[in-house]
Amino acid sequence: MDLEKFKVHGGVLIYGAMVSIALATLAIIIGLTVFKKWGYLWREWLTTVDHKRIGVMYILAALLMLFRGGIDALMMRLQTAAPEMKFLDAQHYNEVFTTHGLIMILFMAMPFIIGLMNVIVPLQIGARDVAFPRLNAVSFWLFFFGAMLLNISFVIGGSPDAGWSAYFPLASIEFSPTVGNNYYSLALQISGIGTMLTGVNFIVTILKMRAPGMKLMRMPMFTWSVLITNVIIVFAFPVLTIALALMMFDRLFGSQFFTMANGGMDMLWANLFWVWGHPEVYIVILPAFGIYSDIISTFSKKNLYGYTSMVASMVIISLLSFLVWAHHFYTMGQGVMVNSFFSITTMAIAVPTGVKIFNWLFTLRKGRITFTTPMLYTLAFIPIFTIGGVTGVMLAMASADYQYHNTMFLVAHFHYVLIPGAVFAVIAGFHYWFPKVFGFRLNERLGKHAFWWIIISFNVAFFPLFILGLMGMTRRMYTYSAETGFGPLNMVSFAGALGLAIGFVILVYNIYWSTRYMPRDTTGDPWDARTLEWATNSPIPAYNFAVVPTVTDRDAFWVSKQENIPLFKDQIKKIHMPSNTGKPFILGVIFFFFGFFMVFSMWVPAIVSGVGILITLCAMSFDRDHGFYIPEKEIIATEKKLRGETV
């Protein structure tokens, strides 16, 4: 076999990455062995089907990917900080901006949001678990191993280098001969299947497993946003599945979908990609809207203003999200009529989004606002996101877009939308729900330090890019000459990027510090909050609720606290639980190898692992495990212990 194709030549940075991956792996293995944690890891985490643990694993993976993607960002900003920098070469820069985009959207924002929805949604609707716990584990492991497959590309064979949108013909085998874009088509495919299954799982969970009395229009706004998001996932992800499959056929089997000869059509890729890609933006932003809605109403001590219009505007956004894709390529010659149509639909999205902004402002009005860390992120989100939204309307005008297209103005715009719209939201949600999962709050002082670093540095890093874009600096340019005058503002932006890195380091330090020193919360409701997840104990027992709550109103928990209406009316009875299983993890591992062998066109091992996948699925079908019961006594003891009483 030709070993040459596995090697990556790229100097110190690549070898550094290889060494650090090897050392980290070794450290983990030694650590697990020394502390005798292999059994614990397998029993409690790798085989778990508990939605809370799966959610925590999603969030851990997302934090790891945040740092991987963040280092990519720092490298890019360093390379462009001054004219004629020699830090990265053109090829390496291409790989870095490609993986930065892929990782941040698909392997950071998405799993962070899916992690939060895993932890919180079943609790918010008063359910004991998601509808299909084992399928949930399958989803997670497919996502995880898809992410790992993309990450090893950096050191084995080379990363994708045609941009996160991988436009053809650039991404074809002719112009991107390395295996990089093979990784793209397979890693995204594997994790995409996982995401699609998550979509099915949560639609069923939310529609069929709500506690008695929890009508659709009584659901917390986060749950509403997750429901709508999952509908988008179920209808958008199959398009990605097909796009990636066609890409794989073009690159591995010589088909002619996106080629320049034999009738292929390169623009077909751009259309398919963005038919998925634009809804994808709303897949990460709608849940963020839900998180903010819950946080704003909790910390303003008011119910959400315009609940119905909030739901309606999310539904409208989800429909419009499928009708705007061509605004990503106004300049690629589809003519005036088409551009006008997409221009109008794009601008129309600003209307429901504006409704939501005003609803949040009206919720704040005359509220008793407490400035906790999650609330600070939420308050910062509103103006910053509005800048992102307004520049979005500028870009939506097709004729004006000829000026902005593919400049740093666009880069600034989507960072102004996605960072407040998704990243601040998941950080806010992380701080807000952290005490629910772990039983203690994150330190407020450190949290606020991190907040100010992140907010200020974000603007320092990205506002200059608007100006650079208008000056004519295009995106994805690995260097520029001093005469362009782009230097100083790029340097400012680099300083901002460093500040962001400091902010995130403080955030992680806060997790460590709080784990050691923060006092434990025995109330289960540290924020005096409104929705059902706060009605159970923290940390959440495996069965979620000892007794299934009965809901009489919106903000059910708040109403029960105010008016002394009991939420839990039934007696404690034994609870049925699903058993753990190792098969989803094994399935993920086999998928990983299948993907890897496909990337390198190693057909025999690929077929063998493909058969392995079928055998694992078959084994899952023959599984006759019907779960187990937690006896009454054990539930009563757990409940007492979590409330700090002696058993």
Partner 1 sequence: MKIDASKPLEYSTEENSNKIFGFWVFLGAEIALFATLFTVYFVLVDRFASGPNGSELFEIGPVLLETFLLLTSSFTIGLAIHAMRHGYKKAMMFFFGITLLMGLGFLAIEITEFFTYVHEGATLQTSAFLSSLFVLLGTHGAHVTFGFLWGTAILIQIKRHGINPATANKSFIFSLYWHFLDVVWIFIFSYVYLKGLM
Q: Write out the residues near partner 1 by the rule CB under 8 A.
A: 131-132, 196, 199-201, 203-204, 207-209, 234-239, 241-243, 245-246, 249, 253-257, 259, 261-265, 268, 272, 275, 576, 614, 618, 621-622, 624, 626
Could you tell me the smallest distance in angstroms from the CB atom of residue 601 to partner 1? 15
Peptide bond into 526 cis (omega under 30): no
- Are 320 and 348 spatial neighbours (Cβ–Cβ below 8 Å)? yes
- 3-state SS, 74-94, equals HHHHHHCCCCCCCCCCHHHHH
**Closest to 270 measured CA to CA, from 359, 394, 405, 170:** 170
Which lies closer to partner 1 via its Cβ, residue 167 or residue 509? Answer: 167
Could you tell me the smallest distance in angstroms from the CB atom of residue 234 to partner 1? 5
Which lies closer to partner 1 via its Cβ, residue 495 or residue 613? Answer: 613
Could you tell me the smallest distance in angstroms from the CB atom of residue 167 to partner 1? 17
Place of tokens 């392995």: 612
Tokens representing residue 290 in the block: 């839900």
Could you tell me the smallest distance in angstroms from the CB atom of residue 267 to partner 1? 10
In degrees rounded to 5, what are phi and psi of residue 628? -145, 175
Distances (CA, A) of 436 to 41, 162, 287, 429: 22, 42, 19, 11
Amino acid (1-letter code) at residue 565: I
Which lies closer to partner 1 via its Cβ, residue 400 or residue 617? Answer: 617
* H or E element at residue 174: none
Could you tell me the smallest distance in angstroms from the CB atom of residue 262 to partner 1? 4
Q: Where do the H-state alpha helices sit in 8-50?
A: 12-34, 38-40
Which lies closer to partner 1 via its Cβ, residue 129 or residue 639? Answer: 129
Amino acid (1-letter code) at residue 313: S
Cα distance between residue 167 and residue 184, in whole Å: 12
Q: Where do the H-state alpha helices sit in 305-443?
A: 307-320, 336-364, 373-396, 398-404, 408-418, 425-438
The gap from C-alpha 349 to its chain's centroid, in whole angstroms, comes to 22
Amino acid (1-letter code) at residue 104: M
Which lies closer to partner 1 via its Cβ, residue 18 or residue 577? Answer: 577
Angle separating helix axes 51-79 and 133-152, nearest 10 degrees: 20
Could you tell me the smallest distance in angstroms from the CB atom of residue 568 to partner 1? 20
The gap from C-alpha 389 to its chain's centroid, in whole angstroms, comes to 20
Which lies closer to partner 1 via its Cβ, residue 46 or residue 226? Answer: 226
The gap from C-alpha 453 to its chain's centroid, in whole angstroms, comes to 22
Which lies closer to partner 1 via its Cβ, residue 367 or residue 610? Answer: 610
Cα distance between residue 320 and residue 352, in whole Å: 10
Could you tell me the smallest distance in angstroms from the CB atom of residue 625 to partner 1? 11
Could you tell me the smallest distance in angstroms from the CB atom of residue 571 to partner 1? 17
Which lies closer to partner 1 via its Cβ, residue 227 or residue 532? Answer: 227
Could you tell me the smallest distance in angstroms from the CB atom of residue 611 to partner 1? 11
Could you tell me the smallest distance in angstroms from the CB atom of residue 249 to partner 1? 6
Which lies closer to partner 1 via its Cβ, residue 208 or residue 476? Answer: 208
Which lies closer to partner 1 via its Cβ, residue 199 or residue 499? Answer: 199
